[in-house]
Amino acid sequence: MLKRPVRPVTATALLFCFALLLYRLSCGTRTRTRSDRPAGEDAYEALLQQHERQYLLYTANLTKQIWQLKKDLKQRSVIFPPDLEERSRSELEEFMQNQLRRAEVGSGEQLQNEFAVLPFDSFTLRRVYQLETGLTGHPVETPLRRDRRNELNGALEAALHLLNQPQAGDSRNRRTYSPQHFYEGIFRTERDKGTLYDLAFRENSVPDFRRLVFFRPFAPLMKVKEEFMDTSQILINIIVPLAGRVDAFRQFMHRFSEVCIGQDGRTHLTVVFFGSEKMDEVKGILDVMSRRMKYRNVTLIHLNEVFSRARGLDVGARAWKRSNVLLFFCDVNVHFTADFLNSCRMNAQPGKKVFYPVMFSQYNPEIIYGHHLPSAEDQLVIRKDFGFWKDFDFGMTCQYRSDFMNIGGFDASVKGSATEDVRLYRKFLRSSLLVVRAPSRGLFHVWHQTLCHAHLSTETFKLCLQSKALNEASHSQLGLMIFHQQINNHLLKHKQS
Ligand SMILES: *[C@@H]1O[C@H](CO)[C@@H](O)[C@H](O)[C@H]1NC(C)=O
Ligand SMILES: *[C@@H]1O[C@H](CO)[C@@H](O)[C@H](O)[C@H]1NC(C)=O
């Protein structure tokens, strides 16, 4: 049974097949060399195959999009309390979906100017950063009002609940999220519609975030979106227009090295320098930094013109020739943290969103601290007597280059009473892009001397002094300065008695 001799019939059949194969091979080559097939047939067949491949890809793509849309639709489900009746449930759901549609969630509403904007507040696990400070007047606080504490906790709990839910078909070992994974969130209330929450949670590796958007239409919460955000590939091109100001620039670069190179590692710096005075010094500072930190992502542009911030930013943005990039319009007096860079990445999205953070403006440190100045790093605190949210300033912004170009950039031809920053901001407000305006815990305007020149008209000179006073110290600190004579008298009297 193991080895049977090959039967003659099988052997003949095999031999025949072999001969046939040989014949076909040789004939095949001959037919092709003689090319008696119609000339374009091969090309035509290749074309057909190519078309078929394209259609297959196209249908695969459509299937994927349908799947995504279905998923989005399902995600917009309402989280109901379990005891709600079936009928009222559908009515309520319809009402809530309506509210969500009316609210400014997915795309921007067209607004006339900066006064029509509803800004967000931002928050972390322990703090709320708020533009409307209420009775306490604190720019940041642990929420004292119970309703506020409950609403934020409610949103966080709902998010954690969803994140930790086991998912069908997901066999990977999912991690457990705890409140400690909460990175930051922004929220705002449209009084006739409801509250929007946009929450970011840290993933395992630092540059990744999981992001959840909720809407609370004056009814139970509903989930709007859940997405995974990989910010590891998002490079930020930081543009700084500059004229003179070498000392401020040296300080700026000191912090830049620490934050952007030491901590973040995904930035490019574009400095647009005006004039010729001090140009060599600025170049020297950049060269030293570049060599010491082995950082090559620097562009220095020189313009022999009178300083104009808008012009500098425009030239800086246009100078970028590679693919689309996230721009951060910055200033030499501005200090920011690595957290801020992440907020910048999370709150801007090409074609969808631009980020207009509100920075915390520091008062004159000599008035706050007297002669014992802490380090610049230690001065980055958000407290009532240390500074204020500069919510009338629209100069700092994170936006994709494509959005900046599509909206027409800084438009030098249009003149008006508003500054160029404000005009750009208004253009975004009037567009269908969502403008995210929120206080940023990692963005600081560092105090510097305001010069009110003597050659100004008295009216302008007074306005300049008023603005200087706002930046100088808080209301009560200014009061103490005005009344210092009375305080001294009081001290004297007590010493004598
Ligand atoms: C799938 O379709 C989308 C939207 O039309 C398009 O942006 C994308 O490039 C397509 N992808 C492929 C692989 O064709
Ligand atoms: C420099 O730029 C490249 C992209 O152009 C980026 O991948 C890289 O992370 C940047 N390096 C640093 C240190 O920021």
pLDDT tens for 424-464 read 999 999 999 999 999 999 999 999 988 888 888 888 899 88
Percent of the chain with pLDDT over 90: 53
Question: What are residue 337's phi and psi, to 5 degrees?
Answer: -105, 170
pLDDT at site 1: 40
d(CA 420, CA 426): 10
pLDDT at site 186: 96
How confident is the model over 162-199, as pLDDT tens digits? 988 877 666 566 678 999 999 999 999 998 889 999 99
In the block, tokens 């109901």 appear at: 80
This prediction has a pTM of 0.73
For ligand 2, what atom is nearest to the CA of residue 261? 13
- pLDDT band at residue 36 under the 50/70/90 scheme: low
Ligand nearest to the CA of 207: 2
Rounded (10°) CA dihedral 389, 393, 395, 401: 80
Q: Does 85 score more than 70 pLDDT? A: no
Question: How distant is the alpha carbon of residue 266 from its chain centre?
Answer: 14
Average pLDDT over residues 310-337: 96
Considering just the CA atoms, what is the radius of gyration of the chain in Å? 32
pLDDT at site 24: 54
Which among 444, 233, 487, 440 is positioned nearest to 331, based on CA atoms?
444
Q: Please tell me the distance between residue 297's alpha carbon and the centre of ligand 2 in angstroms.
A: 6
pLDDT at site 6: 46
Which SS3 state, helix, strand or coil, does residue 172 take? coil
Q: Does 319 score more than 80 pLDDT? A: yes
pLDDT at site 98: 86
Percent of the chain with pLDDT over 70: 87
pLDDT at site 495: 82
Q: Please tell me the distance between residue 56's alpha carbon and the centre of ligand 1 in angstroms.
A: 13
Which among 376, 371, 346, 77 is positioned nearest to 207, based on CA atoms?
346
107-137: string of b/e by CB count within 10 Å (b at 16+)?
ebbebeebeebebbbbbeeebbbbbeeeeee
- Domain over 236-448 is classified CATH 3.90.550.10: yes
pLDDT at site 172: 60
- pLDDT band at residue 92 under the 50/70/90 scheme: confident
d(CA 183, CA 442): 13
Task: Name residue 152's beta-bridge partners.
Answer: none
Q: Which tokens belong to 202?
A: 């840290």
Amino acid identity of 108?
G
Where is 306: in which H helix or E strand?
Answer: none
- pLDDT band at residue 21 under the 50/70/90 scheme: low
Average pLDDT over residues 5-29: 52
Which SS3 state, helix, strand or coil, does residue 211 take? strand
Ligand nearest to the CA of 294: 2
Ligand nearest to the CA of 321: 2
Q: Does 15 score more than 60 pLDDT? A: no
Q: Tell me the HSE value of 336 on the side-chain side, using a 13 A CA sphere.
A: 27
d(CA 221, CA 215): 6
Domain ranges for the chain, please list them.
Answer: 86-109+145-164+177-228, 236-448, 456-497
Pocket of ligand 2 (CB under 6 A): 235, 261, 265-268, 295, 297
Which among 274, 231, 278, 224 is positioned nearest to 250, based on CA atoms?
278
How confident is the model over 120-171, as pLDDT tens digits? 999 999 999 999 888 788 999 988 788 888 999 999 999 999 988 877 666 5
pLDDT at site 2: 43
Average pLDDT over residues 14-22: 54
Atom 9 of ligand 1: nearest residue by CA position: 61
d(CA 309, CA 258): 25
Q: Please tell me the distance between residue 350's alpha carbon and the centre of ligand 2 in angstroms.
A: 20
Q: Taking each helix axis from N to C terminus, what angle separates 246-256 and 279-293, rounded to the nearest 10 degrees? A: 10
